[in-house]
């Protein structure tokens, strides 16, 4: 768990309060928690291109609390990494509150993952199975609220919807009553993967609770973000794959500009990003601007120096 300066990253010192942002009436643009991808370097990049709020990848709270090695590998930040939400997978209120206390000095809040549909997560009692356990979600929110002394520290949840939306509304109302700061709604059920997002369901949830709602699902351009914001009446929009393909999306770019690729190279090298992560992000970013033959060549590169040489030769970077 690395920081430029502990004092500089104290939550109390941070001027950007995500709770205030989500009550501003403006469109708040959010980078989703993406396993392997939404780490410090990528968060640094999207913040340069109008992303207002970033999440860490999902971290298993039990491992984080019990293992120093897990903390050091899973959570890295610095003073520019703000505002920041740390997302945890948890099924135990005490362990979650312990994890929240550890990250409290370095983040603006935590988020409970109640939306991951992957089998391993649900088998462990994490992720989307929690939408059917509103009492456990309530207990986890309440425990963090009781254990973290900082009143500005946010506690949010990210959920998927039920087939029966009355169950989703009930879950959200119970979370709201317990003191949840906001709710992110991915507009698909646990079984749905690539089906159309139910934005009407997100709108219904927004109309039935008072806390801010962030809409999530298939947002791939600034125009789409603005449309979803208008359609649902929500307080923010969260993008995942759209930002992977184009980290400058929220700044209005239709495809990744070369300047963004240059920025990624600078940031990744400065922060010591491992080659596989560095390369994978570039493959996503360059998907729309490279030919099939160029992709074959670029994707086969096996070192940072080879990638930098390729970018220099082909794009003058």
What does the pLDDT average to over 15-42?
94
Place of tokens 């993406």: 34
Which residues are documented as binding site? 33-35, 87, 186, 240-241
| Active-site residue set | 116
Q: Which residues contact 117 (CB under 8 A, 6 or more apart)?
A: 127, 128, 160, 190, 191, 193
Q: Are residues 153 and 242 in the same domain?
A: yes
Q: Are residues 100 and 153 in the same domain?
A: yes
Question: Does position 277 have pLDDT exceeding 70, yes or no?
Answer: yes
Q: Give the containing element (helix H, strand E) for 121.
A: helix 119-123
Full 3-state SS string of 202-239: HHHHHHHCCCCEEEECCCCCHHHHHHHHHHHCCCEEEE
Q: Are residues 77 and 161 in the same domain?
A: yes
For the stretch 202-234, pLDDT in tens is 999 999 999 999 999 999 999 999 999 999 999
Domain that holds residue 278: 258-315
What does the pLDDT average to over 282-298?
93
pLDDT at 15: 58
CATH number assigned to the domain comprising residue 38: 3.20.20.70
CB atoms near residue 122 (< 10 Å): 15
Q: Are residues 18 and 35 in the same domain?
A: yes
Task: Give ∠ CA 246-231-87 in degrees, rounded to 5.
Answer: 55
pLDDT at 8: 35
pLDDT band at 317; cut points 50, 70, 90? low
Q: Are residues 91 and 53 in the same domain?
A: yes
Q: Are residues 266 and 237 in the same domain?
A: no
Q: Are residues 72 and 146 in the same domain?
A: yes
Q: Which of 224, 251, 278 is the last residue of a domain?
A: 251
Q: Are residues 264 and 297 in the same domain?
A: yes
For the stretch 183-205, pLDDT in tens is 999 999 999 888 999 999 999 99
Q: Are residues 295 and 229 in the same domain?
A: no
Question: Does position 281 have pLDDT exceeding 90, yes or no?
Answer: yes
- Is residue 126 within 8 A of residue 90, CB to CB? The reply is yes
Phi, psi angle pair for 15, to nearest 5°: -85, -25
Which residues are documented as binding site for FMN? 33-35, 87, 186, 240-241
Q: Which residues contact 290 (CB under 8 A, 6 or more apart)?
A: 298
Count of structural domains within the chain: 2
For the stretch 99-123, pLDDT in tens is 999 999 999 999 999 999 898 999 9
Say which range, 48-57, 63-72, 227-236, has the weakest mean pLDDT: 63-72
> What does pTM read for this prediction?
0.93
């Amino acid at each position: 768990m690395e920081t430029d300066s502990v004092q500089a990253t104290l939550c109390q010192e941070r001027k950007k309060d995500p709770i205030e942002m989500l009550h501003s009436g403006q469109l708040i643009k959010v980078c989703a928690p993406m396993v392997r991808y939404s780490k410090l370097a990528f968060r640094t990049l999207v913040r340069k291109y109008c992303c207002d709020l970033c999440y860490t990848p999902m971290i298993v709270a039990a491992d984080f609390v019990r293992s120093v090695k897990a903390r050091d590998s899973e959570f890295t930040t610095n003073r520019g990494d703000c505002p920041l939400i740390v997302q945890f997978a948890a099924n135990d209120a005490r362990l979650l509150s312990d994890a929240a206390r550890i990250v409290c000095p370095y983040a603006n809040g935590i988020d409970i993952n109640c939306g991951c549909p992957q089998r391993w997560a649900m088998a462990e009692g994490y992720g989307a199975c929690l939408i059917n356990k509103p009492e456990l979600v309530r207990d986890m929110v309440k425990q963090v609220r009781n254990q973290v002394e900082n009143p500005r520290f946010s506690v949010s949840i990210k959920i998927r919807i039920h087939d029966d939306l009355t169950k989703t509304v009930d879950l959200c109302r119970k979370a709201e009553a317990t003191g949840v700061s906001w709710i992110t709604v991915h507009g698909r059920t646990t079984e749905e993967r690539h089906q159309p997002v139910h934005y009407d369901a997100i709108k219904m949830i927004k109309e039935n609770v008072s806390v801010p709602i962030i809409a999530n699902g298939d947002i791939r351009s600034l125009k789409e973000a603005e449309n979803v914001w208008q359609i649902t009446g929500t307080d923010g929009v969260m993008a995942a794959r759209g930002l992977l393909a184009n980290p400058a999306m929220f700044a209005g770019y239709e495809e990744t500009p070369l300047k963004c690729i240059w920025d990624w190279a600078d940031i990744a090298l400065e922060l010591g990003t491992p080659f596989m992560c560095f390369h994978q992000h570039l493959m996503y970013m360059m998907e729309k601007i490279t030919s099939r033959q160029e992709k074959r060549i670029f994707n086969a590169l096996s070192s940072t120096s080879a990638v930098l040489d390729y970018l220099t030769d082909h794009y003058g970077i």
